[in-house]
Amino acid sequence: MSKERERQEVAGWFRQLRQADEQGAPSFEDVLNTARRRAARRPAQRLYLQLAVVATLVLFLALPALWWQMRRQAARHSAIQAASISQWKSPTDFLIETPGRNLLKTVPRIGDGLIDMQALEIEERR
Partner 1 sequence: METPDLFRAHLESHHAASFAWALSCCRYDHVEAEDVLQAVYLKVLDGRAVYDGRAAFRTWLFSVIRNTAASQRRWSIFRRLRSIPLDHGSREFRSQAEGPAALAARSECAERLLRALAQLPRRQREVLHLVFYQELTIAEAALVAGISVGSARTHYERGKKRLRERMEAK
Q: Is 26 in the site for partner 1 (CB under 8 A)?
A: yes
CA distance 66 to 125: 54
CB 99 within 8 A of CB 123: yes
Cα torsion 108, 114, 115, 116: sign: negative
- Piece of the chain touching partner 1 by CB under 8 A; list 23-31, 50-58, 93-101, 102-110: 23-31
If binding is defined by CB under 8 A, does position 32 make contact with partner 1?
yes
Our finding on whether 20 is near partner 1 (CB under 8 A) is: yes
Q: How many CA atoms lie within 13 A of 5 on its CB side?
A: 2
Subset of 39-78 contacting partner 1 (CB under 8 A): 39
Binding of partner 1 at residue 10 (CB under 8 A)?
A: yes
Residue 94 contacts partner 1 per CB under 8 A: no
* 31 binds partner 1 per the rule CB under 8 A: yes
